[in-house]
């Protein structure tokens, strides 16, 4: 009987049995082929759910930038819209208009000078698609200018720091753009503006400063870059512009540092992208890109449709895409308002700064950069003097914290300072002061345990021998 039940073709009446008494629970989950027959919803649900059961709870995932908490009504609203394809605009015209309202709100948060009722922008699946669209528009504008001037247009380049997120490497690969990189160094923990200008020439499609650098949490100085580019353009006759990758900062700066000029108030900033699913406080995937004016969005990248009296501009790489995120974003704008966003981002930033003070006070650690954190991202490293005699590395600390359920990534910095290993915590909505205290206690406990080691750990030995330090998981910088 038991043998017969193990036969994958045996059917014994799953519908009447308790889920864990069913035949399916005795069998391996499909890996290569679709199962021959069907099973009940309950069993299929349980099997799929259980495959992810042992994972970190999303709210303990302090590696991700992406939203891991939304309130009940937001979740309900998004679940109710789960079967809506955004691209079916004729069927769901009000969602297309709602999307355009979100673009307007983003554009105004970034101080757009555009006077058209509907601002030039696009919905994206995340910052990656939004960056691609911003970069592509810059490439097309540059090409059009070169063509018109009768000059060659086959060697475009783009300038940014080595703190770039992988999407920019993809962009340059996909569209054959040379990537010109300014190294991050200990003296220049953000984009070195002078060095960036030196890399610009008549073929530069744009410079891409980042607000909320994935590796460091810091902001490139866009105002200084804009002033330097203004001088450079005046002297050379070139028209090198700026696309800002504000994946994180796009939703932090308007609320926490509204007087800081980093956005469309600056002359050469022609487009900005962000992630609605990061500090926009919406579950993935959602991104936004906005152009300073419609004239900066090449006509062949977009088409315009008229819905319910609203002229809606469509731009995108993907065709079908979920609509639920738009409802989620619009809900958050209404639910929180400016004041509410400010409160949430303020708490996240204060908790990150609190972590900074607590962790940096520990004997073993120091912050990556000795500055007041501009974003709710805290990056720290082992003090070189402590590292000299320690028998462990931050990778070991990452493993220890994972045992308590925390996902806190350790990773090596980019080329030039790659010997520096750091650790990073993203403080997001859903990570309270109380949770921060629990994390600090777990870090302290883990450090005490690691300090008792008599022999060096494998990662410490690898570090000593200059061998590649393998992290067990993906690269948390998105590279
Ligand atoms: C600066 C920056 N740009 C782009 C991205 C890509 O964002 P997304 O995951 O929304 O595609 C990230 C992701 O962390 C990022 O930090």
pLDDT at 170 over 50: yes
Task: Report how far residue 16's alpha carbon sits from residue 22's, in angstroms, rounded to the nearest whole number.
Answer: 9
Single out the residue of 25, 19, 20 nearest to residue 6, CA to CA: 25
Q: What are phi and psi of 104, to 5 degrees?
A: -60, -45
CB 311 within 8 A of CB 118: yes
All residues at 6 or more sequence positions from 274 whose CB lies less than 8 Å from its CB, including other chains:
106, 127, 130, 246, 247, 248, 249, 250, 251, 280, 287, 288, 289
For residue 154, how far is its CA from the centre of ligand 1 (angstroms)? 28
Could you tell me if the CB of 210 is within 6 A of ligand 1? yes
Domain 345-464 fold: 3.90.1150
Closest by Cα among 192, 220, 209, 200 to 245: 209
- What is the pLDDT at residue 477? 62
Q: DSSP code of 251?
A: G
d(CA 143, CA 170): 19
* Residue whose tokens read 């017969």: 4
Beta bridge partners of 378: 425
**Residue 407 to residues 54, 62, 277, 364, 376: CA-CA distances in angstroms?**
13, 5, 19, 20, 16
Residues facing residue 377 across a β-bridge: 426
- pLDDT higher than 50, residue 216: yes
Whether pTM > 0.75 for this model: the answer is: yes
**Measured between alpha carbons, how far is 113 from 103 in angstroms, rounded to an integer?**
14
Q: Which helix (H) or strand (E) holds 359?
A: helix 324-360
- pLDDT greater than 70 at residue 175: yes
**pLDDT for residue 478 is more than 80:** no
Q: What is the pLDDT of residues 289-331, one digit of tens each?
A: 999 999 999 999 987 777 767 667 779 888 889 999 999 999 9
Torsion, Cα 140 156 268 300, to 10 degrees, reads 0
| pLDDT of the residue at 1 | 55
Lowest mean pLDDT among 181-185, 234-238, 292-296, 318-322: 318-322
Ligand 1 proximity of 242 Cβ (cutoff 6 Å) = no
- Cβ–ligand 1 distance for 477 under 6 Å, the answer no
Statement: residue 11 has pLDDT above 60 = no
- pLDDT score of 410 more than 80: yes
CA of 208 to the centre of ligand 1 (A): 13
Query: Residue range 276-300: average pLDDT?
Result: 97
Q: Which of 52-56, 245-249, 441-445, 474-478 has the lowest mean pLDDT?
A: 474-478
Closest CA to 425 of 336, 324, 355: 355
Q: In sequence order, what are the residues at sequence separation of 6 or more whose Cβ sits closer than 8 angstroms to the Cβ of residue 119? A: 103, 104, 106, 107, 108, 112, 290
Question: 77-332: what CATH class?
Answer: alpha beta
pLDDT higher than threshold 70 for residue 33: yes
User: How confident is the model over 67-118, as pLDDT tens digits?
Assistant: 999 999 999 999 999 999 998 888 888 999 999 999 999 999 999 999 999 9
Indicate whether residue 128 lines ligand 1 (CB < 6 A). Answer: yes
Confidence class of residue 3 from pLDDT cuts 50, 70 and 90?
Answer: low
pLDDT in tens, 246-271: 999 999 999 999 999 999 999 999 99
pLDDT digits (tens, 9 = 90+) for 110-166: 999 999 999 999 999 999 999 999 999 999 999 999 999 999 999 999 999 999 999
Closest C-alpha among 12, 45, 7 to residue 28: 7
Is 135's C-beta closer than 6 angstroms to any atom of ligand 1? no
Can you tell me the mean pLDDT for 395-419?
93
Stated as kind and residue range, the H or E segment containing 225 is helix 222-236
In ligand 1, the atom with minimum distance to the C-alpha of 211 is 1
pLDDT of residue 88: 83
Residue 474: the pLDDT is 45
Query: At residue 123, what are phi and psi to the nearest 5 degrees?
Result: -80, 145
For 93-140, give the DSSP string: HHHHHHHHHHHHHHHHHTT----SSS-SEEEESSHHHHHHHHHHHHHH
- Averaged pLDDT, 191-216: 97
**Cβ–ligand 1 contact at 399 (below 6 Å):** no
pLDDT at 273: 98
pLDDT band at 472 (very low <50, low <70, confident <90, very high): very low
Rounded to whole angstroms, the Cα distance separating 218 from 369 reads 9
% of the chain surpassing 70 pLDDT:
93
Q: Report domain extents, the chain.
A: 77-332, 345-464
Checking if the pLDDT of 54 tops 90, the result is no
pLDDT-derived band of residue 347, with 50, 70 and 90 as boundaries? very high
Stretch among 54-58, 321-325, 397-401 having the lowest mean pLDDT: 54-58
**pLDDT reported for residue 38:** 86
3-state SS, one letter per residue, for 263-321: CCCCCCEEEEEEECCCCCCCCCCCEEEEECCHHHCCHHHCEEEEECCEEEEECCCCCCC
Round the average pLDDT of the chain to a whole number and report it: 92
* Minimum-distance ligand 1 atom for the alpha carbon of 213: 1
65 lines ligand 1 (CB under 6 A): yes
- Band of residue 4 on the pLDDT scale cut at 50, 70, 90: low
DSSP state of 426: E
């Amino acid at each position: 009987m038991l043998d017969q039940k193990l036969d994958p073709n045996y059917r014994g009446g799953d519908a009447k049995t308790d889920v864990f008494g069913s035949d399916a629970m005795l069998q391996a989950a499909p890996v290569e082929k679709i199962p021959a027959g069907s099973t009940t919803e309950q069993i299929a649900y349980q099997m799929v759910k259980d495959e992810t059961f042992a994972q970190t709870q999303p709210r303990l995932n302090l590696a991700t930038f992406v939203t891991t908490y939304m309130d009940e009504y937001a979740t309900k609203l998004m679940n109710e819209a789960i079967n809506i394809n955004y691209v079916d605009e004729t069927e769901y015209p009000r969602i297309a208009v709602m999307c355009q309202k979100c673009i307007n709100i983003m554009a105004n948060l970034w101080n757009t000078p555009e006077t058209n009722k509907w601002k030039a922008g696009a919905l994206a699946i995340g910052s990656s698609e939004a960056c691609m669209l911003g970069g592509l528009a810059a490439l097309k504008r540059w090409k059009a200018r070169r063509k018109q001037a009768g000059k060659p247009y086959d060697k475009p380049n783009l300038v940014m720091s080595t703190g770039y997120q992988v999407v920019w490497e993809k962009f340059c690969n996909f569209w054959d753009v040379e990537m010109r990189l300014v190294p991050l160094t200990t003296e220049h923990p953000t984009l070195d503006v002078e060095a960036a200008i030196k890399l610009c020439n008549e073929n530069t499609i744009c410079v891409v400063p980042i607000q909320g650098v994935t590796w460091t949490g810091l902001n490139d100085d866009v105002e200084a870059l804009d002033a330097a580019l203004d001088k450079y353009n005046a002297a050379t006759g070139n028209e090198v512009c700026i696309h800002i990758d504000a994946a994180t900062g796009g939703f932090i700066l308007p609320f926490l540092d509204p007087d800081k000029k980093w956005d469309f108030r600056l002359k050469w900033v022609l487009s900005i992208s962000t992630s609605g699913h990061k500090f926009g406080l919406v579950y993935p995937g959602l991104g936004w890109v906005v152009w300073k004016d419609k004239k900066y969005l090449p006509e062949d990248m977009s088409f315009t449709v008229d819905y319910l009296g609203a002229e809606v501009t469509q731009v995108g790489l993907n065709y079908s895409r979920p609509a639920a995120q738009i409802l989620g974003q619009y809900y958050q704008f209404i639910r929180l308002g400016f004041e509410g966003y400010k409160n949430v981002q303020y708490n996240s930033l204060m908790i990150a700064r609190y972590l900074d003070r607590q962790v940096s006070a520990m004997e073993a650690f120091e912050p990556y950069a000795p500055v007041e954190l501009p974003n709710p991202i805290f990056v720290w490293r082992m003090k070189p003097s402590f590292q000299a005699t320690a028998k462990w590395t931050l990778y070991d600390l990452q493993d220890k914290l994972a045992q308590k359920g925390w996902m806190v990534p350790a990773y090596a910095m980019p080329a030039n300072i790659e010997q520096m290993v750091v650790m990073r915590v993203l403080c997001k909505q859903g990570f309270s002061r109380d949770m921060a205290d629990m994390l600090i206690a777990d870090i302290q406990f883990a450090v005490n345990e690691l300090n008792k080691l008599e022999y060096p750990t494998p990662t410490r030995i690898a570090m000593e021998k200059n061998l590649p330090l393998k992290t067990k998981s993906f690269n948390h910088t998105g590279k």
